[in-house]
């Protein structure tokens, strides 16, 4: 009986110090800029290159227990480091509606209905001078398109997402 009580106490102790379950939902969506002008001539008479990278919007959400006090600190997307812009989400489910085909909108559930706390994480400013030496972080970065770092009970944790789900491109949003 004493062993059973001791085992129960150990299990309770470990659950009190362990990290909370944080679920990440990550999506990317290319934005078609429309018609790109060609043959634009600058003031000096030379042709200006109008070729631009296709912009991509990222939709990243985190879901965790309402009682957990979590502070999101950093976001790495495909090896680039960003300061996060964190916003609370008032209600779920969160839907993406693609209206590229008028009269036939395509709905996709980004975050299902939940009673947990949900926050939106947007990549803020790109930071270039961050390099982490930790072998475990390097291994995580090698195998993940997205890495989220957060602090819980004064300890830093990292969550890696192997692949960011790609949504159908949208026109000029």
pLDDT in tens, 125-147: 888 766 666 787 788 888 899 99
**21 and 61 in contact (C-beta within 8 Å)?**
no
pLDDT above 70: percentage of residues in the chain:
79
SS3 65: coil
Nearest to 123 by CA among 66, 170, 55, 33: 55
Query: Considering the entire predicted model, what is its pTM?
Result: 0.77
C-alpha distances in angstroms, 164 versus 51, 60, 109, 154, 155? 25, 9, 15, 28, 26
Are 149 and 136 within 8 A, CB to CB? no
The arithmetic mean of pLDDT across residues 138-162, rounded, is 90
């Amino acid at each position: 009986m004493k062993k059973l009580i001791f085992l129960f106490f150990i299990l309770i102790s470990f659950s009190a110090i362990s990290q909370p379950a944080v679920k990440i939902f990550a999506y990317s969506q290319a934005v078609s800029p429309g018609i790109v002008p060609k043959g634009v001539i600058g003031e000096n008479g030379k042709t200006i290159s109008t070729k631009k990278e296709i912009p991509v919007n990222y939709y990243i959400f985190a879901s965790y227990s309402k009682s957990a006090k979590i502070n999101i600190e950093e976001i790495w997307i495909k090896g680039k480091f960003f300061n996060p812009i964190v916003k609370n989400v008032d209600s779920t489910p969160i839907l993406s509606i693609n209206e590229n085909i008028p009269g036939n909108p395509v709905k996709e559930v980004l975050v299902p209905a939940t009673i947990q706390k949900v926050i939106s994480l947007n990549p803020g400013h790109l930071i270039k001078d961050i390099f982490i030496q930790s072998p475990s972080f390097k291994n995580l970065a090698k195998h993940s398109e997205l890495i989220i770092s957060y602090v819980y009970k004064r300890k830093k944790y990292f969550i890696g997402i192997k692949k960011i789900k790609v949504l159908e491109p949208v026109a000029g949003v």
